[in-house]
């Protein structure tokens, strides 16, 4: 399995977790709805924002298109423990790698221009799934 490249930022600027609903409700002809669990292990969706230089963005493109086959393959990354929600209280090692997969292609916005494309700064948004 591929690993997040060391040449890319290892910490994120911001991370938003969007949990999938884990139950299904079935209306009944009389009485309360029936509620049951949908999955034995749910996938968490994350929206991550990172700041990258033009050179790092080129590395991300090579990683996404080449190593991950256009985002179809999984990869591991610790991201400074951002995915370990209880890292301080539960004793989980914040450096533990998690398995991720891109949900869609990342988007980039140039936030600081430069005549040298490698020195430009970009805000990169990625939507990934944290796999169980």
- Residue 97: count other Cβ atoms within 10 Å of its Cβ: 15
Interatomic CA distance for residues 132 and 125, integer angstroms: 22
1-53 pLDDT, tens digit each: 999 999 999 888 888 888 777 788 888 888 888 888 877 777 788 899 999 99
- Hey, CA dihedral for 86, 92, 95, 101, is it positive or negative? negative
The pTM is what?
0.77
- Hey, CA dihedral for 114, 127, 93, 96, is it positive or negative? negative
Residue 113 has pLDDT above 50, yes or no: yes
80-105 pLDDT, tens digit each: 666 665 444 444 445 577 889 999 99
Interatomic CA distance for residues 99 and 130, integer angstroms: 6
Looking at the chain, the whole-number percentage of residues with pLDDT higher than 90 is 45
pLDDT at 85: 57
pLDDT at 90: 41
Segment 115-128 mean pLDDT: 92
């Amino acid at each position: 399995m591929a690993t997040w490249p060391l040449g890319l930022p290892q910490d994120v600027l911001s991370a938003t977790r969007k949990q999938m609903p884990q139950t299904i409700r079935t209306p009944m002809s009389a009485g309360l709805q029936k509620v049951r669990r949908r999955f034995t292990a749910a996938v968490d969706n994350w929206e991550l924002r990172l700041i990258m230089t033009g050179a790092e963005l080129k590395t991300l493109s090579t990683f996404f298109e080449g190593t991950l086959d256009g985002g179809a393959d999984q990869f591991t990354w610790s991201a400074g423990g951002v995915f370990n929600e209880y890292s301080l209280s539960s004793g989980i090692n914040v450096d533990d790698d998690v398995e991720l997969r891109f949900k869609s292609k990342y988007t980039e916005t140039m936030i600081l221009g430069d005549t040298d494309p490698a020195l430009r700064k970009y805000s990169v948004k990625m939507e990934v799934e944290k796999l169980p």
